[in-house]
Structure 1
Amino acid sequence: MDVTAGPRHRGPEDCRGVSTILARIGDKWSMLVVMLLGDGPRRFNEIKRMVGGISQRMLTLTLRGLERDGLVTRTVFPTIPPRVDYELTDLGRSLWQPVEALGNWAFAHLPEIEAARTKFDGKD
């Protein structure tokens, strides 16, 4: 594969591969977890509290997916009860900056987006 070619010059197989990555990092839970882990390692329950609204099962699936993709590491400490920390890998940290920028953009433009939605929803 020619890595110097722009996205318009890549084949369908490349697009399929990229789409699976974008699906992982583009889902709302993954983005929130990556944003939270940008400040350093966190424990499972700490992440769950900070995300809010996520079920234990969904957080488990999200963290496993991020770990599978090499974005997060899971470290188990042999204490009683066991302590488990999650932390961004180098690859995950390289993703954190664009995710943080996107999150900041969303916060900055939230009033405009809500106004546009209200205006749109009023059209019938």
Structure 2
Amino acid sequence: MSVPGDCERISPILSRVGDKWTVLVILILSEEPKRYNQIRREVENISQRMLTVTLRGLERDGLVMRRVFAEKNPPWVEYSLTELGHTLVEPLLALCKWASTNYLLIEENARNAEATCN
């Protein structure tokens, strides 16, 4: 089986969407638009810096939209998935299901490989 497309061009995209923080943020935003602190509460153990970096990257790539509500007092920001971002939800859910189904076998294989190396 060959990899579709130009590996050099798709590698950065796969790195972006395969990042654990990206996966979690996309899945959380698939439910509904959320404010920064709502996302931070739902993504356990993410630092403020990492969440900011992740959201900026997703916004830059056109997967997440940032909307400022300046008329609110105080002003606030809401994040939501773009149309492109929504197309990523189904593949990510399939990957999560696969990982959930196979994590015990993968952990066992890793333990066996480690034991063989020692």
TM-score (ref. length: structure 2) = 0.86
Deviant stretches of 4+, over 6 Å: none
- How far did 1:120 drift? 2.6
| Residue number among 73, 88, 95 corresponding to 1:80 in the alignment | 73
Unaligned runs of 5+ in 1: 1-5
Unaligned runs of 5+ in 2: none
Please provide the CA RMSD for this pair: 1.7
Q: 1:120 to 1:41 in 2, by over 3 A?
A: same
CA distance in 2 between counterparts of 1:71 and 1:32 reads 13
- How far did 1:88 drift? 0.7
| Residue number among 9, 26, 30 corresponding to 2:22 in the alignment | 30
Tell me the residue number matched to 1:96: 89
User: In the TM superposition, what whole-angstrom CA distance separates every residue of 1:38-88 from its partner, at most 9, and x where no partner exists?
Assistant: 111111111111111111111101001101111000111122332211111
Tell me the residue number matched to 1:16: 8
| Residue number among 107, 112, 116 corresponding to 2:109 in the alignment | 116
| Residue number among 75, 98, 110 corresponding to 1:105 in the alignment | 98
Tell me the residue number matched to 1:3: none
CA distance in 2 between counterparts of 1:97 and 1:53 reads 24
- How far did 1:118 drift? 2.6
Tell me the residue number matched to 1:69: 61
**SS, match of residue 75 in structure 1:** strand
- How far did 1:101 drift? 0.9
- How far did 1:112 drift? 2.1
CA distance in 2 between counterparts of 1:58 and 1:66 reads 12
CA distance in 1 between counterparts of 2:110 and 2:7 reads 31
TM-score (ref. length: structure 1) = 0.82
CA distance in 2 between counterparts of 1:54 and 1:90 reads 25
Amino acid at match of 2:91: P
**SS, match of residue 122 in structure 1:** helix
CA distance in 2 between counterparts of 1:49 and 1:119 reads 36
